[in-house]
Amino acid sequence: KVDLGTDDPVEIGKIIRGWLADYLSMGPVVAMVLEGNRAVEVVRKIVGATTPYSANPGTIRGDFSTDSPELANLEKRALFNLIHASDSPKEAEREIRFFFREDEFVNYT
């Protein structure tokens, strides 16, 4: 367990949010939308388990990260899990609207 200097859930949330902001600003971020039959399910299989050390080889996280929550907490930083994938079609719709305008989509069919 990491001592964050508080037991207040709101304050802990602010600390973690700061860690995430630091992580996201370490380098370039590429946002994209993939669509297709069962797209969310397929992308999650390609990405791998949220915790990199649990991700199978052949997945993005399994091949390119070995980070763990324990190490991230010890170093007081976000978990370096490399990639985000929506966990449901509903969440995907919300996140797509956050990052993109309707006129930014290209239909390749």
Please check whether residue 105 lies inside any domain of the structure: no
Domain residues for the domain of 63 are: 9-100
pTM value?
0.81
What CATH number should be reported for the domain holding residue 52? 3.30.70.141
Please check whether residue 77 lies inside any domain of the structure: yes
For residues 60 and 49, give the distance between their C-alpha atoms in angstroms, rounded to a whole number: 9
For residues 44 and 102, give the distance between their C-alpha atoms in angstroms, rounded to a whole number: 24
pLDDT tens digits, residue range 19-31?
999 999 999 999 9
| CA-closest candidate to residue 96, choices 22, 43, 34 | 34
Please check whether residue 109 lies inside any domain of the structure: no
From 17, 45, 76, 84, the catalytic residue:
84
How many structural domains does the chain have?
A: 1
pLDDT tens digits, residue range 46-93?
999 999 999 999 999 999 999 999 999 899 999 998 999 999 999 999
84 among known catalytic residues: yes
For the stretch 4-16, what's the b/e string if a residue is b when 16 or more beta carbons lie within 10 angstroms of its beta carbon? eeeeeeeeeeeee
